[in-house]
Structure 1
Amino acid sequence: MTLVLSAQRDRLLMLSDIVIAREGRHDAQVSGLPLTPRPIVVASGNHTLVGLAQKMVQFDERRVLLWAGSKVVAGHVCNEFAKAILTDPTARLLDFLAQSGLSEGDLSQTSFIYHRLDSDGRLFREAHNAKRSDIDGVDTFFSGTGDFHFIDDIRPMFDAAELNPDIAFMRNWVHRVAYAMLSEALDGENLQFAYGGWFEIALFADGALRKMPYLVKLWEERDGQVVSGPCISGWYKDAHLCLLRSDVKRAEADTTNDLTVVRDPLERTKVPDSRSEVADSYARAQLQIHLIFNARGRWGIVLKGFDTDDFQFEIARGKLNMRWHQRLRDELTATLQGPVGGQILRPFSDSE
């Protein structure tokens, strides 16, 4: 139960969430969700959240496999396919699955979307048990219980056309990610569809398939003032996903830092076991997602790139530094008035 997605036009974007769910209602808590710092119970008659896992498996800079469904089946396939591509780097996933000896029942429980970047720079994609559709002019593979909510019920709409096709492509999907994260922070709406926790984002950049470090910053408008909330930063130590939630208060002694490490699915290196080891691996965010809300139910999204000086977050010599410029507060306030630039239409949920 999940969401995985691969969208390709002139650019490639891969997305995957990190929550693991079990069918049916169970007496279980899930902890380590960066947008929900305390252990929570998310259970319905259909599913219960039980843990976290990476569903975007990066074998190397040229091969990435997304999975949804059975963690047991996916784990077996990922480990065995990793061995297969060592012998034959051009191996095809569908051929491998056909010869894997897995039963139809096993294969029907799990979806895969495989990406291979060939030596000539061409991208090869293939999928098993996944849906394929043209979404806003983009050829998209996707799978998981979250696909309806993420694709059909979150509809980004923008005030003006973006002339740069790369930016237009990215802002559509990133606004969906931003709204899903905002809904999780406020009421856990997306968790009812058994997806969320965090989104791994990968792109084709600089001749390779790369996972992207990024951050999410929460803000609240309170009595006309923009109040700073938690900042969640995600990056990688080797292939382990590191998620740091930092809630900086006025008094330094009140500052809290909650760390979650989602292990490398191929277990190629030891899981970092100390905060200092994780901090030493910190990579600066290439994307900033700023989310603002207020008690009247208004909200807004502001996106910033790698080179912004409006908001800076870094870990240096084990110390966390966070600072921002007043113009970011002004921009956040403006999004609550309009919104400015874009909005999310939810034709199904909002009409109920």
Structure 2
Amino acid sequence: MTSDTLSPAQTTHAPPARQMTWTRFRAWVLEVPALQVLVVLALAAWLLTTMPAMANPRSITSILVITSLLALAAMGQTLVVILGGLDLAAPGYILFGAFMAANVAGKLALPAVVALLITALVCGGIGALIGWICHRFAVQPLIVTLGTGAAITGATLFFADGDYSSAPPVELRSLASLRGATFGLPFPPIILIVLLCGAGMWIFLNRTAAGRRFRATGINFRAAGLTRIRTSAVWTAVFAASGALAGVAGVFIASFGSGWSQTIGEPYLFSGLAAVLVGGTIFGSIRGSYTRTLLGALILTLLSTIIVSNGLTEAQSRIVFGIIILAVVSLYGRERHVRDRF
């Protein structure tokens, strides 16, 4: 039967049927990170096909460690993005953490635990102040975090006084070293640390009243306020967590590289945000999760490895990352915001 002989009913119902199929498929992709898992598998297959030498324990461990560091640096950003904001102070936090690891714990021989605690308190305190200011005065976090990040960077460089030769102590380096072991098993502790953080984040977001209040604030903070949720406290706590986590990530990043530089945090602003978005967490998203960020970090690490193996430059790799982000946002960002459905 040709298209000219189709009945009116068939002509009318064919397009809606195709549209319904696409709607169901898109809803499934939005609901579960199946697309990200497929991309990970495809990139892993591509990497092993083009570089068979990567199929060894040391190379796999290296990929997992780099993924863990990126995921840890993006952990706080995940919370901020779910809340509907953006934290551009992350490079400053990471730089301060690296400074504490190398010049304080390493050079001044301060205990590593104390250096970690000071990093978390200082960066978390600055983040808490940012969150309170943004909520209290209705200022865009983009502006406040950008200025604060520059101030943290300048202050850290002032305290460093041009000394970038120091290295973190052995106990910190062992946590992110490729030769490290965890309870006798041949993988670095940083991998387990990030997995435990991911489990804690999942429990917080999905199994606690605080997590439900946090999601409600991200969906619509005005409606959340009407339900007697202290949205100012939520904003303060989320930005505090973002600062503390980024600072601690800086400690581990410096430990992995056995040193630091004044630009150590800059790559993690773009790649950290990319990991969040590629994972499928969009601003104010009800489906945002740290599991998606972990998958996004693994995707970017595998892709970076493939790019480096093919001789692409940093500029070319950023172009590839940008195209991927645009593609992901075009898929996830077109979903109607929850607050617009009622």
Q: TM-score range by the shorter chain?
A: under 0.3
Q: Which has the higher strand share?
A: 1
Higher relative contact order (CA 8 A, sep 6+): 2
- Larger of the two Rg values belongs to structure: 2
TM-score of the two chains, using structure 2 as the length reference = 0.27
TM-score of the two chains, using structure 1 as the length reference = 0.26
Q: Which has the higher helix share?
A: 2
